[in-house]
Amino acid sequence: MERTNEHQKPNRGFIRSALKIIYSFLPIILFPKELLKSLLEARGSYLSRLGNEGRRALRDLDRISAEDVRRAIRELGKKVLKETRDKRVVVDFHGIPQYHKDKSLLSRIKPTKGTSWGLVQAALYLLGRKNVFLDVLPITVKKVAEDFKAIMEVLTEELDKLHLRFVMVFADREFAVNEVIKYLLDLGVEFVIAAKSKMYEKYLGELDVRYAGVRYTGFLCVRHVNGAYLVLLRKDGDVVGFLVRREVDVQGAVVLAE
C-alpha cells in the first residue's frame, strides 16, 4: 500500500480507529503485524506509554494513508454486499477525545477527559451486522450538530449511488440537540442517540421498577419536548439514557442499550 510522510499528526487518530475496525473482522492482516500488536496492547490507552514499541507504532500510523485504509474497508464491504440481499444500512456517529494542538481534523465534542475536541467519525455498516463495515468517514466540520443536515445529505447521496437503504442512526450525546432530532424525525429514520443528563434529571426518582431476570433494574419511556421518546434504564446504580423515534417497552429498550 502506498505510504507517505505528508499526513498531519491528527490523522493518526482516524488511522488508528479505522484500523481497529479492519483488524476486528479481517482474517488477513493488510498492515504490519507489529502495528496490530501495539494497537491491541494500547487498547484504551496511549501508544506512547508503550515506550519504543509505541513510538514505532506512531511512526507507522503517520506513514499510512487514510484513503488507503478507507479503500480497504470499502473493498471488504463490497464483497459482503455481493452476497447479501438486505441492503439496509446504519450510520454510527461517534467522537473520540483528542489532545492535538492542530484542530484542523477535529470537531467540538462534549468536554471529556480534559478536552472538548475529538475525532468524529461516521461508520457505515449493514443493519444487524456490526462487524460488516462499508465505510468509515472522518467528519471534519467544527460543529457537527449544527452542520448535521449537510453531513446527512452527503451521506444519503453516497448511499443512494450504491443502491443502499439508509434506515437507522446511532450517535453520541453531542447529537442530542433539537435540530438533529427534528431533522431525523422529519426524515423518518429510526435513531438511538445518547441523552444528555439534563434531559432526564427530573425523572430519576421514577426509576424504581424491577424486572426479574433483567440486569437493568429500572425502566422509563416518556415523550420528550423535542418530539423523540426519552428512554431511561437503571444499570448497577448508573442510569443509561437515550432518545429514540418510537415508544419502546423494557425488552426493546434493553436490546437498544446493548
pLDDT in tens, 9-28: 555 666 666 655 555 544 44
pLDDT at 205 over 60: yes
pLDDT band at 238 (very low <50, low <70, confident <90, very high): confident
pTM: 0.71
Q: How confident is the model at residue 193 (pLDDT cuts 50, 70, 90)?
A: very high
Q: Say what the pLDDT of residue 111 is.
A: 67
**Which residue type, as a one-letter code, is found at position 177?**
V
Q: Which residues are bridge partners to 244 per DSSP?
A: 192, 229
Q: Which of 38, 28, 3 has the alpha carbon at shortest distance from 16?
A: 38
Per-residue pLDDT, averaged over 36-62, amounts to 70
What is the set of domains in the chain, with CATH numbers? 1-82 (no CATH), 84-194 (3.90.350.10), 195-258 (no CATH)
Cell representation of residue 29: 492482516
| Mean pLDDT rounded to a whole number for the chain | 76
Give the span between the Cα atoms of 52 and 71, in whole angstroms: 30
| pLDDT (mean) for 169-192 | 90
Q: Is 80 exceeded by the pLDDT of residue 93? A: yes
Residue 209 has pLDDT above 60, yes or no: no
pLDDT at position 37 is 67
Cα separations (Å) of 88 from 18, 19, 29, 166? 22, 24, 28, 6
Considering only 112-116, 165-169, 228-232, which range has the smallest mean pLDDT? 112-116
3-state SS class at 187: helix
What cell does 242 get?
437515550
What are the pLDDT digits (tens) for 150-160? 888 888 888 88
Mean per-residue pLDDT, 112-125: 77
Whole-number Å distance between alpha carbons of 110 and 123: 19
Residue 1 predicted with pLDDT over 50: no
Say if residue 7's pLDDT is above 50.
no
Can you tell me the distance from the alpha carbon of 119 to that of 252, in angstroms, rounded to the nearest whole number? 30
Highest mean pLDDT among 23-32, 179-188, 232-241: 179-188
CA distance 42 to 28: 21
pLDDT band of 75, cuts 50, 70, 90: confident
Bridge partners of 114, per DSSP, are: none
